[in-house]
Structure 1
């Protein structure tokens, strides 16, 4: 069989990793009953607003961790 993949590597398609499950954490912000209330306030901001800001930071950290843990590591011999 020939290798028709654009990168020229066999098996370069989608691969599963358990780290991808971490990407479900930022989706929790879509469950509005978890955050839809006023207290506790932080610097005068209701919980609903500051929790959304906190989830942005948590989401960025989760995506960064998944990226670092699942990126392809090339062998030094392949770059030549």
Structure 2
């Protein structure tokens, strides 16, 4: 079943793939950050962003599963 929460979960997990596969958006040297070319620090930033997005997706999934279990348990009573 597709719910708004599951759509948000999918977007959180899909965003890093899109960001990394769209190479034209970051295939350049400027702007440099503390001497590191943009190409490299952009990718490293996405490692951290991906971690946060995966944690958000996991928390949303856990909340969704608890809500489904409560709804299923409440309907059985």
TM-score normalized by structure 2? 0.70
Match of 1:62 among 49, 53, 60: 53
* 1:1-80 paired onto structure 2 within 5 Å: 16=2, 17-19=6-8, 20-27=10-17, 28-71=19-62, 72-73=65-66
- Larger Cα Rg: Structure 1 or Structure 2? 1
Unaligned runs of at least 5 residues, structure 2? none
Give RMSD over aligned pairs: 1.7
Spell out, residue by residue over 1:21-49, the C-alpha distance to the aligned partner (whole angstroms, 9 max, x if none): 22121111121111100000011110000
Unaligned runs of at least 5 residues, structure 1? 1-14
- Count of residues in correspondence between the two structures: 62
TM-score normalized by structure 1? 0.67
Spell out, residue by residue over 1:1-59, the C-alpha distance to the aligned partner (whole angstroms, 9 max, x if none): xxxxxxxxxxxxxx541122221211111211111000000111100000001011111
